[in-house]
Amino acid sequence: MAGSSWKPQEEERLIKELADNIKIEQIALNHNRSSGAIQSRRRHLASVYYEDGMSIDAIMKKLNLNSTQVHRALKRRGLLDKSDMGTQTDEV
């Protein structure tokens, strides 16, 4: 069963909390959601940003994720395969 939908202002608050390095458990309490719901939304946002052309490095910074977490999120959503693992980063 899906939880309640995310309102734009709640999503903005989530992004700020992630950037401020607030622990997932505290963010979940702040939003009255489970830690799993916060993680799921973070993965969703990573895929949205990637589809919008944001680099993996920028996604990592914005959502406080490491490279492995971003790649896994994108692979789960079918946006990356093994041949794509090194693409769309800010590194040269």
| Per-residue pLDDT tens digits for 45-60 | 999 999 999 999 999 9
Is the sign of the CA dihedral 44, 50, 56, 58 positive or negative? negative
- Please, which pLDDT band fits residue 68 given cuts at 50, 70 and 90? very high
Query: Is the pLDDT confidence value at 81 over 70?
Result: yes
pTM over cut 0.95: no
Total domains, the chain? 1
